């Protein structure tokens, strides 16, 4: 491994989960998300020489984001045909802090709540989904999100406000699936 | 009014939306891809057979080799036993995040977490809360390390999860403390009052070290 790759690995790998989380929310598929992250990391390594210090996380997530958008543009059907999938949207993969104890009923209720929130966020358009995910799940500042998305911080704020309105609307009209009582 | 609604919605999203953890396989794939990374392209404009840039490149490569072997030497100077434990600790950490089984007892109260272990272990792990310092205790669970059931204490710093494994020192000949870094995870271990502590996280090395120092200083 050359020195640059070594240095890159040292600073970029700790942000792998943030990168994967963003990709996973943008492309909404775990396998595609893995491919996106891998591609983005390889690209980021190539550009690493041109990276002039500063915060690595927004820079890296910006590359992840662009990789995902390129994929989304080439796969518009994936954007249109998004439907609720119990396994995927139930949050069963990583609902780490569900606030449950070992009470099965509470666990089930919490799972349902997880899927409701996950699905509501998933159905927002990507530009609103990403600001929400970066803000609430990655705890990033407006400036950092602006750097990731390549937009002014003011736009981040207005998108976030809009995302919240849309999310509130989604959450207030629960989806009724076929066959559900 | 609107502020409060936003805060509630924000809390709901934080609590209920899934933050997907990168699968371990992806981490390994990327590590492997990095180690096969090509050398940056060289300038072929020079006419000499071996331009100064190539010589520079060789110098850098040599320096890297020296550095790498220093790292290898440091790594191997850890005993095989500790290396094995560090691997177990990282695996345990990754597993705990993967299978939605981070905590058996979820509580931010050390007086709830500590008694939970009694009857489950043949020792009482010291449980300390560092919420004021930014490392909140969020729960505990049983795990299996070093061929015995051990206590795993779960802390959170911002959005990073820290697992601290605590169990009694068995082999006194092992060196008492050190740090390891593998696949983007940092591990810090130390001994204190006949207990060994292994803290692991994807948190950066400096913050994890600060956490370990705070934990060591705090009386049980």
Structure tokens at B220: 């049980």
Reported as a single tens digit per residue, the pLDDT across A148-158 is: 999 999 999 99
Judge contact between B104 and B142, C-beta under 8 A.
yes
pLDDT of residue A48: 87
Reported as a single tens digit per residue, the pLDDT across A21-71 is: 999 999 999 999 999 999 999 999 888 888 877 889 999 999 999 999 999
Spell out the domains of chain B, with CATH numbers in brackets.
80-217 (3.30.200.100)
* For residue A178, pLDDT beyond 50: no
DSSP code per residue over A155-169: HHHHHHHHHHHHHHH
Q: How far is CA B213 from CA A94, A126, A172, B135, in A?
A: 30, 42, 47, 12
CATH number of A123-174: 1.10.10.10
Q: What 3-state class would DSSP assign to A5?
A: helix
* For residue B6, pLDDT beyond 90: no
* For residue B64, pLDDT beyond 50: yes
Q: Do A9 and B31 touch (CB under 8 A)?
A: yes
Q: Chain B: give the shortest CA distance to residue A133, in Å.
A: 9
Residue B21 burial (CB count, 10 A): 22
* For residue B45, pLDDT beyond 80: no
Reported as a single tens digit per residue, the pLDDT across A76-106 is: 765 555 555 555 554 443 344 444 455 677 7
First-to-final CA distance of chain B: 43
Judge contact between B22 and A20, C-beta under 8 A.
yes
Closest CA to A45 of B59, B186, B30, B62: B30
Sequence spans of domains, chain A: 1-82, 85-118, 123-174
pLDDT of residue A38: 93
Nearest to B17 among A34, A101, A136 (CB): A136
Question: With contacts defined as CB-CB under 8 Å, which chain B residues touch A113?
Answer: 16
pLDDT of residue A179: 47
pLDDT of residue A176: 52
Structure tokens at B206: 């400096």
Nearest to A136 among B13, B20, B21 (CB): B13
Q: Is the ipTM of this complex over 0.90?
A: no
Reported as a single tens digit per residue, the pLDDT across B126-136 is: 888 888 888 98
Burial bucket for residue B122 (CB in 10 Å: 0-12, 13-18, 19+): exposed
Interface with chain A: mutation pick from B8, B11, B13, B105, highest number of A CBs within 10 Å: B13
Return the residue of A nearest to B138 by Cα.
A97
**CA R_g for chain B:** 22
What confidence category does residue B103 fall into, taking pLDDT thresholds of 50, 70 and 90?
confident
Structure tokens at B208: 């994890």
Return the residue of A nearest to B181 by Cα.
A10
Average pLDDT over residues B149-162: 90
Task: Tell me the percentage of chain B whose pLDDT exceeds 90.
Answer: 20
The 3-class SS string of A6-66 reads: HHHHHHHHHHHHHHHHHHHHHHCCHHHHHHHHHHHHHHHHHHHHHCCCCCHHHHHHHHHHH
The counts of H helices and E strands in chain B are: 6, 7
Q: Matching CATH topology for A1-82 and A123-174?
A: no
The span from the CA of A41 to the CA of A35, in Å, is: 10
Residue B15 burial (CB count, 10 A): 15
* For residue B40, pLDDT beyond 80: no
Q: Give the burial string for B51-84 (b: 16+ CB within 10 Å, else e).
A: eeeeeebeeeeeeeeeeeeeeeeeeeebeeebee
Describe the strand order of the beta sheet including B195-201 as a list of residue ranges.
Answer: B105-106, B136-145, B148-157, B160-168, B195-201, B185-192, B178-182
The correct answer on CATH 1.10.1740.10 for the domain covering A1-82 is yes
The span from the CA of A21 to the CA of A16, in Å, is: 8
What confidence category does residue B165 fall into, taking pLDDT thresholds of 50, 70 and 90?
very high
- The residues near B120 (Cβ < 8 Å, ≥ 6 apart) are B142, B149
Judge contact between B77 and B83, C-beta under 8 A.
no
Reported as a single tens digit per residue, the pLDDT across A118-159 is: 999 999 999 999 999 999 999 999 999 999 999 999 999 999
Mean pLDDT of all residues in chain B?
Answer: 79
Q: Which residues pair with B179 in a beta bridge?
A: B188
B13 touches chain A (CB under 8 A): yes
């Amino acid at each position: 491994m050359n020195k640059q790759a070594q240095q890159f690995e040292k600073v970029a790998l700790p942000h792998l989960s943030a990168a994967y989380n963003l990709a996973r929310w943008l492309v909404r598929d775990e396998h595609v998300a893995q491919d996106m992250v891998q591609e983005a990391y390889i690209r980021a390594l190539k550009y690493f020489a041109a990276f002039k210090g500063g915060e690595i996380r927004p820079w890296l997530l910006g590359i992840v984001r662009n990789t995902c958008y390129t994929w989304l543009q080439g796969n518009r059907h994936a954007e249109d045909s998004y439907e609720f999938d119990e396994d995927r949207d139930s949050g069963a993969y990583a609902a780490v802090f569900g606030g449950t104890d070992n009470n099965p009923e509470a666990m089930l209720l919490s799972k349902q709540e997880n899927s409701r929130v996950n699905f509501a966020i998933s159905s927002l358009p990507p530009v609103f989904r990403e600001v929400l995910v970066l803000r609430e799940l990655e705890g990033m500042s407006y400036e950092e999100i602006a750097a990731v998305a390549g937009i002014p911080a003011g736009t981040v704020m207005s998108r976030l406000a809009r995302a919240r309105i849309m999310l509130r609307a989604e959450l207030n009209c629960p989806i009724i699936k076929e066959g559900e009582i | 009014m609107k502020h409060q609604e936003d805060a509630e919605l924000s809390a709901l999203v934080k609590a209920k939306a899934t933050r997907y953890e990168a699968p371990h396989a992806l981490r390994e794939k990327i590590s492997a891809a990095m180690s096969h990374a090509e050398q940056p392209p060289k300038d072929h404009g020079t006419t000499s057979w071996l331009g100064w840039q190539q010589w520079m490149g060789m110098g850098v490569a040599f320096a890297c080799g020296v550095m790498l072997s220093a790292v290898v030497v440091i790594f191997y100077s850890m005993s095989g036993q500790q290396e094995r434990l560090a691997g177990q600790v990282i695996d345990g950490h990754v597993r705990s995040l993967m299978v939605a089984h981070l905590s058996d007892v979820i509580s931010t109260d050390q007086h709830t977490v500590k008694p939970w272990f009694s009857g489950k272990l043949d020792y009482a792990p010291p449980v300390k809360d560092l919420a004021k310092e930014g490392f909140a205790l969020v729960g505990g669970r049983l795990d299996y390390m070093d061929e015995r059931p051990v206590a795993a204490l779960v802390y959170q710093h911002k959005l990073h999860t820290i697992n601290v494994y605590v169990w009694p020192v068995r082999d006194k000949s092992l060196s008492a403390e050190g740090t390891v870094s593998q696949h983007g995870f940092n591990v810090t271990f130390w001994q204190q009052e006949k207990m060994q502590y292994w803290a692991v996280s994807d948190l950066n090395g400096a913050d994890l070290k600060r956490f370990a120092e705070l934990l060591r200083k705090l009386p049980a």
